Structures are given as C-alpha cells and as structure tokens.
C-alpha cells in the first residue's frame, strides 16, 4: 500500500507521478477492470511517452540549475593552509 501511495503522488522535482513517468499512464484503482485494457495506436503512444520524457528531462535540468545556483551562492573560498599550520 505504501508503494502504491508513493507511486501515485506528484514528485516535487519532476512535477509528475513516478508511476506516470515510468509507464505513461495512471494506475487503475478498480481491480475488477484489469481485463479491460485500452488499446492505443503505437505511434501516438510512443510520441506521447517521448513528450512526457522530454518534460521530465526539462524539469530535472531546471532543478539542477537552481541547485547549482544555490550551492554556488553559499560556497566559501577554501582556506590556504600550508604544511605545519
């Protein structure tokens, strides 16, 4: 249950749900409807998944940029120690 809950919550960095990011769809809540699988045209499905992946990469690059700015803002120069100090 904890894994299902985690995979169905929006991640703060990617702004996507992990299950959605990995599979391109939201998990089904109704176990009775497991046999009723939706049929997608493969070309449309792949294009859709590529777009989601591009969004995730873009979000991660933005977070990395923000993190880098934040780290550089708080970095101090390394002290110049010499042997014997």
Contact yes or no for 52/26 (Cβ under 8 A): no
The C-alpha atoms of residue 40 and residue 53 are separated, in whole angstroms, by 18
Residue 50: its H or E element: helix 42-74
| Per-residue model confidence as pLDDT tens for the chain (85 residues) | 566 666 677 777 777 887 777 777 766 665 454 445 455 577 777 788 888 888 988 999 999 998 888 887 777 777 788 888 7
The pLDDT of residue 11? 76
The C-alpha atoms of residue 50 and residue 19 are separated, in whole angstroms, by 15
The pLDDT of residue 68? 86
Tokens of 65: 């940029």
The pLDDT of residue 1? 58
Sign of torsion, CA 20 22 25 31? negative
The pLDDT of residue 14? 78
The pLDDT of residue 33? 47
* Residue reference for tokens 């449309």: 44
């Amino acid at each position: 249950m904890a894994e299902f809950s985690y995979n169905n919550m929006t991640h703060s960095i990617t702004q996507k749900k992990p299950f959605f990011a990995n599979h391109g769809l939201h998990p089904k809540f109704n176990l009775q409807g497991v046999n009723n699988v939706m049929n997608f045209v493969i070309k449309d499905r792949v294009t859709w998944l590529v777009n989601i992946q591009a969004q995730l990469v873009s979000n991660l690059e933005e977070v990395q940029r923000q993190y880098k700015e934040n780290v550089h803002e708080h970095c101090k120069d390394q002290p110049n120690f010499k042997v014997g100090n």
